[in-house]
């Protein structure tokens, strides 16, 4: 979720110039979250992406998921997307998402928006069309706050929603889950940063009611240690 800091005027001029599409293609790989998480059972989580292209057009691969303490996959997905810059610091993305777990494999269409709000708040929003939920959405927002030359504090929030309840399982309609946390990164190098953090995760609405009805926890705190890197 890192971007080159340039002025809005310069970015707009770049996008509207006839030379924007001629910028040399580049490759970027980033593991935003590779972490071991605490809690009752413990789990591991990954959240990584890669893109290839120019400032105007890019091809993306995004993957995230979790493993339980035994190394079994709890959730996993892969997105293949094409994006085009539509404004300074904003890309419109479209493609496919394939879910490998949990439950039956599921492929959906993806339409999303990736960009930067004022105060350098990075936003990744996506709608998933088709599959079991017919229409679902995810919004992620994070900001890097530099405390010292090496210490970076990152507040992060993620919200998930679904239009329809799943036929099976404990996912209801409406807003289904909210995650909010803080991660403190120690930048050993400009592109390598171990971190520790704390996150609160809560099911809400119909999803919370379904979990409570089956005797499952609907909210809780989780500590983690992890690594972020990019090249």
Cα 42 to Cα 14, 37, 177, 225, 230, distances in angstroms:
46, 6, 19, 12, 26
What pLDDT score was predicted for residue 218?
77
Alpha-carbon span 179 to 101, nearest angstrom? 20
Which residues are within 8 A (CB) of 133 and not within 5 positions of it... i.e. 6 or more apart?
A: 162, 163, 164, 166, 171
Per-residue pLDDT of the chain (231 residues; tens, 9 = 90+): 544 433 444 444 444 444 444 467 999 999 999 999 986 657 999 999 999 999 999 999 999 999 988 888 888 999 999 999 999 999 999 999 999 876 667 899 999 999 999 999 999 999 999 876 678 999 999 999 999 999 999 999 999 998 877 766 677 788 989 999 999 999 999 899 999 999 999 988 888 877 787 778 878 999 999 999 999
Cα angle 4-148-31, degrees, rounded to a multiple of 5: 50
What pLDDT score was predicted for residue 72?
87
- Its pTM stands at 0.84
Name the strand (E) or helix (H) holding 205: helix 205-213
Domains and CATH numbers, the chain: 27-230 (2.40.160.40)
What pLDDT score was predicted for residue 205?
84
What pLDDT score was predicted for residue 169?
64
Name the strand (E) or helix (H) holding 94: strand 90-101
Alpha-carbon span 62 to 80, nearest angstrom? 7
């Amino acid at each position: 979720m890192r971007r080159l800091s340039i002025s809005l005027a310069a970015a707009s001029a770049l996008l509207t110039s006839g030379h924007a599409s001629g910028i040399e293609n580049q490759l970027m790989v980033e593991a935003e979250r590779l972490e071991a998480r605490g809690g009752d059972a413990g789990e591991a989580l990954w959240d990584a992406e890669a893109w290839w292209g120019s400032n105007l057009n890019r091809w993306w691969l995004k993957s995230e998921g979790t493993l339980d303490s035994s190394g079994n996959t709890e959730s996993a997905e892969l997105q293949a997307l094409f994006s085009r810059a539509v404004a300074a610091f904003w890309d419109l993305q479209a493609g496919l998402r394939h879910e490998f777990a949990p439950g039956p494999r599921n492929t959906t269409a993806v339409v999303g928006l990736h960009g930067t709000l004022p105060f350098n708040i990075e936003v990744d929003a996506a709608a998933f069309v088709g599959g079991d939920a017919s229409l679902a959405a995810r919004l992620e927002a994070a900001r890097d706050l530099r405390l010292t030359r090496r210490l970076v504090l990152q507040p992060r929030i993620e919200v998930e929603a679904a239009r329809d309840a799943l036929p099976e399982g404990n996912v209801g309609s409406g807003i289904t889950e909210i995650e909010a946390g803080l991660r403190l990164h120690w930048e050993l190098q400009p592109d390598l940063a171990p971190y520790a953090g704390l996150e609160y995760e809560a099911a809400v609405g119909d999803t919370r009611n379904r979990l409570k009805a089956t005797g499952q926890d609907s909210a809780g705190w989780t500590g983690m240690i992890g690594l972020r890197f990019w090249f």
